Amino acid sequence: MKVAIVGAGVAGAYLSGLLAEKGCSNLLFDHLAPYEKPCGGGVTSKAIREFPFLESQKIAKREIHFIKFVTPGGSSYDFPLSSPFYVCSRKELSRFLIDRALQSGARFIPEKVLRVEKRKGRWKVISDKGSHSADLVVGADGVKSIVRRQLWRNFDPRDLSLAVVGYIKGGFEEKAKVCFLSGVEGYIWWFPRQGYASVGIGSPLGQMESHQLEILLRRFILECLPSKETIEASFKWALVPSLRAEEFLCQRYSGERWALVGDAAGLVDPLTREGIYYALKSAQLLAEAILKGELGEYDRMLQREFLGELHKAAQLRKRFYSPWFLEIGLRLAAASRDFREIALQLLLEKPAYTRLKKRLLRKGAPGAAQSIWYYLTKPLRHKGSPQ
């Protein structure tokens, strides 16, 4: 079987390498890769444990042991991390994975894919320089995926977030910062990398314009930096999938000889907008399904692994970003080690949203835990709401 993978970002390049290692012929298409995707570049401790190659010295990264949270009201809390996370360049991570795929026998084709067509039971991948045949086609080409658009459907604008990102040169302490804002279902991040920091802000598409987000971001940078000249950073914007709860119930991730992974599949935590873990995990699961000759199992594997968690995250998002909840939640996290452990795991680990209530009741004071859970889920408590 020959597989055509459109997109050589984290998901596509990792999938290509996994298939090539097992002798599965594949073509990896991307006319731009490797490139720097406008994002934070945070790699959760869960991802580090589950994908040991992330420890490679060939991937430039910073190890983060401390994080500062700032509430919408201006209160700040510094927390040490029992399980550090990495911040890396998406360009360098993709380059590493592409190189691994090529060493295993994959073929990289630096061409721009224009469309895919099915002819006599096989796929034709039409690029700006020619056409290529394959038995199965995979869309790993991000939020604007050509494969998704042709074989499934575009994302609804209500299922997207807008991120504005800049890069500040300099040597910075190994402390990440996350600032929550009133009226924004998102946050500003400051993630130090090697030689610079990634700083950005995200919110649901349509909630704020890109120039408004940039103004908020510039103010934040001015507060963080004593030197004003470094504010002359260029900013880029990007769209990020952040599906509504009801959308998770009707998504398709594969069909007859096609499949989607990573951002192209909408596999991003809709609450935190973290996507690297889901890019890697979806590629791993799809590789298993392809190598077993059971592509139809892919959707069920995703469901067993994490779709329920993402669905619950989408249900909780609006209430999570309310100023009241953030003020109370971070105050409790500062006062209680148990609450702090739960909060940091939700934000920096692979989340366990579906088990949040039990963990709150087991770890925290029952009264406070019940109040927090009731507040988070109150809008969902109506007849027929999916739980």
User: By mean pLDDT, which of 12-21, 139-148, 294-303, 307-316 is the weakest?
Assistant: 307-316
Q: Does residue 251 sit in helix, strand or coil?
A: coil
CA dist., res. 247 & res. 245, Å (int):
5
Q: What is the pLDDT of residues 75-133, one digit of tens each?
A: 999 999 988 899 999 999 999 999 999 999 999 999 999 999 999 889 999 999 999 99
Q: What is the pLDDT of residues 122-172, one digit of tens each?
A: 999 999 999 999 999 999 999 999 999 999 999 999 999 999 999 888 888
Q: What is the pLDDT of residues 304-350, one digit of tens each?
A: 999 999 999 999 898 889 998 899 889 888 988 888 887 887 777 76
Task: Tell whether domain 158-241 is in CATH 3.30.9.10.
Answer: yes
CA dist., res. 167 & res. 172, Å (int):
12
- pLDDT score of 230 more than 70: no
Cβ atoms 39, 200 nearer than 8 A:
yes
279 or 320, which is more confident: 279
pTM (two decimals)? 0.91
- What pLDDT score does 333 carry? 87
CA distances from 161 to 11, 34, 205, 252, 263 (A): 20, 23, 5, 20, 12
The mean predicted confidence, pLDDT, of the chain is 89
CATH topology for 2-59+88-155+247-313 is FAD/NAD(P)-binding domain (3.50.50)
Q: DSSP string spanning 99-138?
A: HHHHHTT-EEE---EEEEEEETTEEEEEESS-EEEESEEE
Domain coordinates in residue numbering, the chain: 2-59+88-155+247-313, 158-241, 316-380
